[in-house]
């Protein structure tokens, strides 16, 4: 049945294909097109050219047709495309010069005539001969090859339809739709690569609105590089699936809005009257322009490799809590790959003896960790016996449960394999995890993501590959005596409106140690942070980095004219600062800051002081900013607007051998 949908036409079946190209079995056109999105070895066997004069033994399935071998260009690596665009095609051109630079590049590489190509569309493909190239239009003048080789996916689309379509196009075809036929010469290989670079650029890099943006600096740095990196990050599963969907949706919305804007602008330019309808159209145009700019900014945040991870993908977890059982009973789940009598006796002696277990307890045994977590209700406990457990899905914890390792963390290892956005997802109101080692593989978002509620992490080891622990807005983390290392992003990401208490932990060998996200948005509250006696060392960037908008820099400069100092500290002990305003709280800290400045403190103490200074300065400026916005009527006034300062207790932390230092800021 499938073969009936594919129509193959071969004129003059006894004739030979033009001299030069070797024959090879026709690949499915969809697979050739999808190959552009596959990361494969460019030196694989199927990409090697056949030597001239060699005999080609090809197994052709019944109903298939032989096409000339096209030059494979779909397996280029990131650095190959990067180098081509940077060094040979675009260089330091502006967006308005992209077409000019592309034409100049093609003129140096493409032969104007005398070569063969496969014209490939979603419906059919046919062999054509190129007779001329219109470089300025990025099109080739073609004619059907003789003998004609043609293949269609639709039985209703015949060769006559192809000829009619060619006539309508006046035999001018976009170069992007042509795949160069191989003749085993380097010249044709370079031509195929040149067309592939143009094809890839206009399909994945170029945006219709690029040319209208200001050329502040060269187009390659501003647009090509970040979009190219995003393409390959998606290809290599480094971007959360939800963020990919968001990006494509934003791109579609922006393209649609831009088309409407162009049509509206064109109609206004053709209208000379000062009518009411024209005024309405101008207002509509301004609204469309504003919408497009907002969409473009969101796209840039995702395209930029640094900002993409700084802002992250704020998805809402869909995990549903089960709540307590109808009978109110709590269950203890015991997880063990194999249960032996000695382990069972020890477990009952330590956990289920009469002294520690006063009430009757239901015990359920599991060999799989995910089945134990999925069986939990509110108040249950999961005891994990020593062993190495492999998890292929996400550990979703929606109820307030305890996840406890029976032994040392190195003896209870949970390893994630297989692709997925997250490893452990927490949304329970009070989740406790202790004495477990987590090993992360292929989790795009992170090893542990806390969406809501409070999660306590104690005596755990987290071996990361992407991001370590992520504390989302409105979530709370209490982490003690734990070790986080190996993250390609930050070891710990702290979102606005969250609360994070870190005590006696090690955070090391990550891209950044701790990343604090401080958005300038009325919907976000400043995070509450407490860091005591942590060792933050050997991170590639900073030990602690604060993300804040550039507008804060301007506010801080103005604020210095209003106050003599720009730091405050909120005492952790309850009631210590009750009834004090911002300036009074600053004075409470001033003497301590002077002590830090005059005494010969170690680098660690200096790092703690520097973090306090910057975080609290930002806190005060954000409070003033929100107050000014409320006075202007931009946001609703809040009686508590000046009491939302960052809750700070930072002391006893050690910062060692971090690549950029103890503390830094990232301005966006």
Mean pLDDT of 476-502: 93
Q: Is the pLDDT of residue 274 over 70?
A: no
> Which of 8-22, 260-274, 327-341, 535-549 is the least confident region?
8-22
569 lies in some domain:
no
pLDDT of residue 625: 57
H/E stretch holding 194 reads helix 186-200
Q: Are residues 206 and 243 in the same domain?
A: no
Number of independent structural domains in the chain: 2
3-state secondary structure of 366: strand
Residues 250 and 292 in one domain: yes
Q: What is the pLDDT of residue 164?
A: 92
pLDDT at 467: 78
139, 181: one domain:
yes
Q: Of 142-151, 331-340, 454-463, 567-576, where does mean pLDDT reach its minimum?
A: 567-576
Residues 208 and 246 in one domain: no
Assess whether 151 and 255 both reside in one domain. no
- Backbone conformation region of residue 206, classed left if phi is above 0, alpha if psi is from -120 to 50, else beta: beta
Residue 140 and residue 103 share a domain: yes
Domain boundary among 312, 327, 348: 312
pLDDT of residue 126: 93
> Same structural domain for residues 171 and 112?
yes
The better pLDDT of the pair 198, 550 is held by 198
Residues 194 and 252 in one domain: no
Between 527 and 590, where is the model more confident?
527
Q: What is the number of other CB atoms lying within 10 angstroms of the CB of residue 640?
A: 7
260, 283, 312 — which closes off a domain? Answer: 312
CA distance 409 to 562: 52
Q: Strand (E) positions, 488-532?
A: 490-494, 499-503, 506-508, 512-517, 528-532
Summarised one tens digit per residue, pLDDT across range 181-225 is: 987 778 889 999 999 999 999 999 999 999 887 666 688 988 999
Say if 518 falls within a structural domain: no
In a domain? residue 437: no
- Tell me the H-state helices in 270-355: 276-303, 305-311, 341-351
185 and 243 co-located in one domain: no
Tell whether 457 is covered by a domain: no
558 within domain boundaries: no
For residue 612, tell me if it sits in a domain: no
Does residue 265 sit within a domain? Answer: yes
On whether both 170 and 244 belong to a single domain, the answer is: no
pLDDT of res. 353: 76
Q: Which domain holds residue 141?
A: 78-212
162 and 251, same domain (yes or no): no
Q: Give CA–CA dist 72/70, Å, rounded.
A: 6
Among 261, 289, 312, the domain-final residue is 312
What is the distance of C-alpha 648 from the center of its chain? 30
109: pLDDT strictly greater than 90: yes
247 and 167 part of one domain: no
Classify each residue of 288-313 as buried b or exposed e, where b means 16 or more C-beta atoms within 10 Å of its C-beta: beebbeebbebbebbbbeebbbbbbb
Rg over CA atoms, the chain: 32
When mean pLDDT is compared over 293-302, 472-481, 513-522, 582-591, the highest value belongs to 472-481
The answer to whether residues 312 and 245 touch, using CB atoms and an 8 Å cutoff, is: no
For residue 123, is it within any domain? Answer: yes
What is the pLDDT averaged over residues 62-73? 72
Average pLDDT over residues 121-136: 93
């Amino acid at each position: 049945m499938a073969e009936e949908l594919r129509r193959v036409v071969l004129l003059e079946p006894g004739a030979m294909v033009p001299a030069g190209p070797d024959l090879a079995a026709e690949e499915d056109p969809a697979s050739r097109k999808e190959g552009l999105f596959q990361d494969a070895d460019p030196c694989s066997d199927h990409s090697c050219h056949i030597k001239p004069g060699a005999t080609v033994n090809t197994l052709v399935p019944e109903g298939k047709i032989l096409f000339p071998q096209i030059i494979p260009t779909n397996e280029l690596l990131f650095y190959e495309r990067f180098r081509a665009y940077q060094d040979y095609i675009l260089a330091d051109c502006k967006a308005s010069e992209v077409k000019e630079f592309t034409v100049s590049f093609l003129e140096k590489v493409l032969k104007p005539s005398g070569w063969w190509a496969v014209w490939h569309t979603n419906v059919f493909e046919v062999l054509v001969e190129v007779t001329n190239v219109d470089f300025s239009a990025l099109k080739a003048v073609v004619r059907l090859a003789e003998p004609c080789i043609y293949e269609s996916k639709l039985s209703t689309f015949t060769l006559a339809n192809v000829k009619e379509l060619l006539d309508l196009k006046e035999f001018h075809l976009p170069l992007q739709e042509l795949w160069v036929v191989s003749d085993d010469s380097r010249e044709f290989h370079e031509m195929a690569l040149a067309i592939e670079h143009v094809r890839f650029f206009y399909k994945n890099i170029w945006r219709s609105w690029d040319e209208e943006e200001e050329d502040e600096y060269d187009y390659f740095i501003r647009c090509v590089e970040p979009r190219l990196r995003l393409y390959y990050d998606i290809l290599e599963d480094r971007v959360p699936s939800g963020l990919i969907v968001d990006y494509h949706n934003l791109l579609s919305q922006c393209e649609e809005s831009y088309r409407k804007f162009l049509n509206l602008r064109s109609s206004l330019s053709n209208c000379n009257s000062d009518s009411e309808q024209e005024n309405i159209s101008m207002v509509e145009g301004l609204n469309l322009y504003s919408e497009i700019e907002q969409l473009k900014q969101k796209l840039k945040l995702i395209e930029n490799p640094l900002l993409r991870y700084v802002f992250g993908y704020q998805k809402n977890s869909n995990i549903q809590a089960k709540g307590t059982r109808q009978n109110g009973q709590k269950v203890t789940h015991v997880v063990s790959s194999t249960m032996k009598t000695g382990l069972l006796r020890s477990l009952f002696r330590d956990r289920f003896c009469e002294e520690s277990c006063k009430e009757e307890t239901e015990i359920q045994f599991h060999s799989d960790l995910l089945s134990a977590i999925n069986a939990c209700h509110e108040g249950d406990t999961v005891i994990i016996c020593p062993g190495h457990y492999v998890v292929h899905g996400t550990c979703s914890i929606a109820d307030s449960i305890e996840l406890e390792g029976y032994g040392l963390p190195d003896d209870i290892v949970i390893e994630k394999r297989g692709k997925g956005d997250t490893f452990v997802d927490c949304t329970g109101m009070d989740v406790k995890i202790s004495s477990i080692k987590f090993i992360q593989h292929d989790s795009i978002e992170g090893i542990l993501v806390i969406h809501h509620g409070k999660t306590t992490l104690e005596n755990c080891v987290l071996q990361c590959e992407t991001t370590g622990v992520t504390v989302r807005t409105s979530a709370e983390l209490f982490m003690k005596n734990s070790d986080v290392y190996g993250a390609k992003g930050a070891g710990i990401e702290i979102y606005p409106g969250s609360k994070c208490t870190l005590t006696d932990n090690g955070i090391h060998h990550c891209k950044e140690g701790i990343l604090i996200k401080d958005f300038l948005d009325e919907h976000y509250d400043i995070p509450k942070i407490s860091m005591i006696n942590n060792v933050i060392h050997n991170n590639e960037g900073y030990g602690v980095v604060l993300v804040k908008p550039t507008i804060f820099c301007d506010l801080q400069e103005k604020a210095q004219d209003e106050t003599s100092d720009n730091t405050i500290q909120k005492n952790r002990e309850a009631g210590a600062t009750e009834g004090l305003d911002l300036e009074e709280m600053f004075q409470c800290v001033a003497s301590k800051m002077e002590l830090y400045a005059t005494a010969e403190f170690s680098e660690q103490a200096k790092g703690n002081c520097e973090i306090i200074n910057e975080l609290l300065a930002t806190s005060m400026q954000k409070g003033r900013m929100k107050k000014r916005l409320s006075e202007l009527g931009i946001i609703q006034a809040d009686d508590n607007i000046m009491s939302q300062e960052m809750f700070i207790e930072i002391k006893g932390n050690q910062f060692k051998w971090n690549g950029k230092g103890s503390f830094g800021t990232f301005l966006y």
